[in-house]
């Protein structure tokens, strides 16, 4: 989780990066930043603060980011800790010039690399794995920027999509497994854009060109893009299927699919595998909307807006006792009584992780008069934590890791629950190739070096 963006070949680079980060705000809300390189002064300017994009940037701050190349980052911490010291972009000066880096993913050998670098005398200013990459570049004994970047990236294990600027030259790379997404777009005026999702291209008016391929390394100077030596292949690419299940925006195009198309297919297959005798279908907004529409279409049960999400809720420290343990759910959602009263309801959600939110939603639905509640999940049971860049808790906190389907049904206090099968989910997107399903199957393809060695793994996002 996290979103990255880069713009090259236009004097409006920072402003366009700002727009792209707006479209990627769903990928993280803790902090954001932009670095722009001003070739006239030979300086890399940075704005980086905690909070939302709309809270951080103003016309005055964007005016302080001149230049024709910029990189930006939206942060969501899975580990490594919050705080401004762990926000990105990272900006340093080293022997080849001003370097800025943004990264989405988790390096599964970050702890091992960090320990080695510290023993060699490296000084770290943060706890994020992204800083490991910067040190590897700066301490490489190879000659030239591209050889140093190649040296650094070749030592990484796990999931990474990275954007690096050295002076006014931009570099982009994606790990050989292709876990995290990264797309390329072309601006009407001739510039180039890279971003975590295609929805960021849309807001900038850029035309989608293609995905950055797994293991691909690119150099971009102005509007000229060149493929450099690719990273050694690790096996068949394994893009993260959970991006399609939950994380990416429905209007995003990933790996040949629009996310909405994939989620509707999940919902239709879910209706075939897990039918329910009910009066209406509702979604847990917003990530499950498409799956719920697919379920309604395939089942013939009408879709209704039974839950309304408050999109303007920020963090709160107030939890009044009269609101009870469901306060956080009630803060975010409200049930539509006129839709739900007396009805047998199928609730479609994208996934079930801890189960606490779903349990609270059931209380809301019953309080609104729902006669029966049947929960359906448009993905398989989440039984294993993710080490490749999606925020999932430890296995002990995953409800499906230690409870049976019947026990989860009783915990949620519903008439029935049903999951989409792993085979059914993959069959819905089989045209896109193979996917990483480690959170469902426990099949971790990239080596978990830090976990195997018992080291504490730090994560940038």
Q: What is the set of active-site residues? A: 2
Helix residue ranges, H only, 32-109? 53-56, 59-63
Q: Which helix (H) or strand (E) holds 110?
A: helix 110-119
Residue in this structure with the two tokens 């790996």, named with its chain if needed: 255
Q: Which of 10, 7, 2 is nearest to 30 (CA)?
A: 2
Distance CA 156, CA 164 (A): 15
Residues 6+ apart with CB under 8 A from 101: 71, 88, 89, 90, 130, 133, 134, 162, 163, 164, 165
- Determine contact, residues 259/275, Cβ cutoff 8 Å: no
**Hey, what are 211's tokens?**
């995905």
Helix residue ranges, H only, 274-404? 289-299, 327-332, 337-340, 356-367, 399-402
Distance CA 403, CA 405 (A): 7
What angle do the packed helices 259-273 and 289-299 form, to 10 degrees? 40
Q: How far is CA 421 from CA 80, 385, 430, in A?
A: 33, 18, 14
Q: Which of 80, 81, 82, 99 is nearest to 90 (CA)?
A: 99
Cross-strand bridge partners of residue 141:
none
Distance CA 197, CA 380 (A): 24
CB count in 10 Å sphere of residue 120:
9
Residue 381 backbone phi and psi in degrees, to 5 = -60, 135
Please provide the DSSP assignment of 130-147 as one string. HHHHHHHHHT--SSSHHH
């Amino acid at each position: 989780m996290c979103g990255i963006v880069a713009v090259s070949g236009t004097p409006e680079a920072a402003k366009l990066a700002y727009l792209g980060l707006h479209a990627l705000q769903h990928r993280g809300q803790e902090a954001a930043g932009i670095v722009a390189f001003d070739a006239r002064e030979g300086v890399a300017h940075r704005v980086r603060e905690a909070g939302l994009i709309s809270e951080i940037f103003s016309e005055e701050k964007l005016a302080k980011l001149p230049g024709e190349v910029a990189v930006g980052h939206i942060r969501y911490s899975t580990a490594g800790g919050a705080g401004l010291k762990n926000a990105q972009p990272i900006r340093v000066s080293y022997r080849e010039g001003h370097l800025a880096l943004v990264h989405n993913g988790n390096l599964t050998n970050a702890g091992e690399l960090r320990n080695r670098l510290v023993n060699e005398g490296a000084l770290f200013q943060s706890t994020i794995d992204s800083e490991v990459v910067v040190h590897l570049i700066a301490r490489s004994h190879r000659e030239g920027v591209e050889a140093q970047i190649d040296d650094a990236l070749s030592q990484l294990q796990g999931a990474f999509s990275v954007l690096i600027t050295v002076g006014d030259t931009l570099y982009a790379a994606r790990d050989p497994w292709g876990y995290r997404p990264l797309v390329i777009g072309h601006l009407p005026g001739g510039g180039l854009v890279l971003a975590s999702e295609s929805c960021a291209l849309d807001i900038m008016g850029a035309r989608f060109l293609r995905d950055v391929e797994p293991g691909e390394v690119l150099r971009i100077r102005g509007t000229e893009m060149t493929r450099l030596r690719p990273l050694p292949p690790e096996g068949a690419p394994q893009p993260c299927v959970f991006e399609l299940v939950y994380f990416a925006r429905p209007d995003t195009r990933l790996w040949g699919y629009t996310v909405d198309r994939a989620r509707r297919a999940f919902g239709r297959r879910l209706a075939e595998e897990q039918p329910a005798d009910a009066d209406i279908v509702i979604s847990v907004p917003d990530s499950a909307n498409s799956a719920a529409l697919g379920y309604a279409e395939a089942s013939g049960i009408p879709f209704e807006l039974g839950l309304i999400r408050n999109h303007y809720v920020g963090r709160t420290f107030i939890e009044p006792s009269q609101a009870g343990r469901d306060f956080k759910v009630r803060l975010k959602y409200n049930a539509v009584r006129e839709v739900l009263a007396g009805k047998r309801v199928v609730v479609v959600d994208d996934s079930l992780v801890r189960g606490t939110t779903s349990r609270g939603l059931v209380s809301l639905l019953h309080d609104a008069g729902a006669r029966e509640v049947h929960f359906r999940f448009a993905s398989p049971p989440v039984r294993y934590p993710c080490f490749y860049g999606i925020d999932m808790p430890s296995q002990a906190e995953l409800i499906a890791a230690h409870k049976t389907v019947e026990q989860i049904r009783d915990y949620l206090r519903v008439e029935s629950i049903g999951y989409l099968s792993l085979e059914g989910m993959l069959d819905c997107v089989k045209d896109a190739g193979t996917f990483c399903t480690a959170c469902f199957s426990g099949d971790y393809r990239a080596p978990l070096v830090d976990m195997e060695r018992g080291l504490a793994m730090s994560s940038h996002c």
